[in-house]
Amino acid sequence: MKICVVSGTFHPEPGGPPTFLYHLLPDLVRRGHLVEVITYGEPGSPADYGYAVTRISRRQPIPFRLLAFTRAAFSAGRRADVFFVSDYGLPVALANLGLRKPVVMRLVADFAWEFCQLHGWIPETQTVEAFQTAKHSLRVRLLRQAQAFYTRAASRIIVPSEHVARLVRAGGGTPQVIYNAIDGKPFADLPPRTGGFTLITVARLAPVKGVDVAIRALAQVRRSHPQARLIVVGDGPARNNLEQLCRELELDRSVQFTGALPVDSVARHLGAADVGVLGSRTEGLPHLALEAMAAGTPLVATRVGGTPEVVADGVNGLLVPPDDPSAMAQAILRLFDDPALGERLTHAGRATLERFSWPRLVDAYEATLLGVLKR
């Protein structure tokens, strides 16, 4: 099978979708499939993946780079049996008007909502659920119509949680749920933690990930545990604002920004930390929850999106309301003050991972891609 993979982001860029593809595609190649990737990127990006990667520069104005991307997708699509799209579906929908190739599309969130949040087109406090029925400006309506166009053009839609499935169904789609999973090898045989007051979050640094909530929670935790610190793993457009927030709260010496790290380093940082924190304002299905469970690190996360589908409050983690640093701080303090609670949560977390097997995920994606070809 020849697969043309199309994604707006790709390794080494941060975030769940590029990381997911970086791990999935080599497994598909090992199973005998041919892979070619079309994505954005600049000169000097890595090239040695064992499959071809074509990068379109973002330095062009949006209309020109969209045209260049569509041309590249059309060219690669002519050589492919099937398109596999990670969220960025408009170029493929346009190219496929002439190619008529089957399209498997993976959607992990509402792209229109995230784009509007990032660019200030909607109120900052508008949730993804409220976004579905709110009255919008003309440009937001046009963006949503473009999203509906390329979503409906897909042969099959894959989502990582029932939460995202509900969003897709509301737009008229019929999604297939394949839960996210992780490769547990990097999390095996981690050295035991020494015990302390280290928090960690692993996320793309964008407003939707709520890293600011974790930083504000740290400020409250330090009132009773002044040695507490936070490690922020990841990178993204909000980094400067987050660093400024740390300075305003006098936390610049208590918060360490590592930038994006390879999975082995992420595993080591998670294994050494005492509590994982996830302050997201929405989630498809958070990789950090699975990684924390694999590392044996208790997790405090916001009760949003697909997170409750993997984290059960008081069973394998603690859930708190979104945008509530005080509630997050109280949950963190529970874990600091009650080590036995953390042990119970991590024990249950390891049992949870049995539902999120990486080989099972690869089997499911391969079967779906082959299935649309048979149709």
Domains and CATH numbers, the chain: 2-181+357-374 (3.40.50.2000), 185-355 (3.40.50.2000)
280 pLDDT more than 90: yes
CA distances from 330 to 276, 300, 318 (A): 14, 10, 11
CA distances from 30 to 34, 50, 183, 278 (A): 9, 10, 16, 34
pTM for the full predicted model: 0.87
Q: At what angle do helices 16-30 and 358-374 cross, to 10 degrees?
A: 70
Given a contact cutoff of 8 angstroms between Cβ atoms, the answer to whether 274 and 336 are in contact is yes
pLDDT (average), residues 344-351: 94
| Cα–Cα distance measured from residue 282 to residue 305, given in angstroms and rounded to the nearest whole number | 5
The tens digit of pLDDT for each residue in 158-212 reads 999 999 999 898 878 889 999 999 888 888 888 877 777 999 999 989 888 999 9
pLDDT tier for residue 104 given thresholds of 50, 70 and 90: very high
pLDDT at 312: 97
Confidence of residue 87 (pLDDT cuts 50, 70, 90): confident
Of the two residues 208 and 2, the one the predictor is more confident about is 2
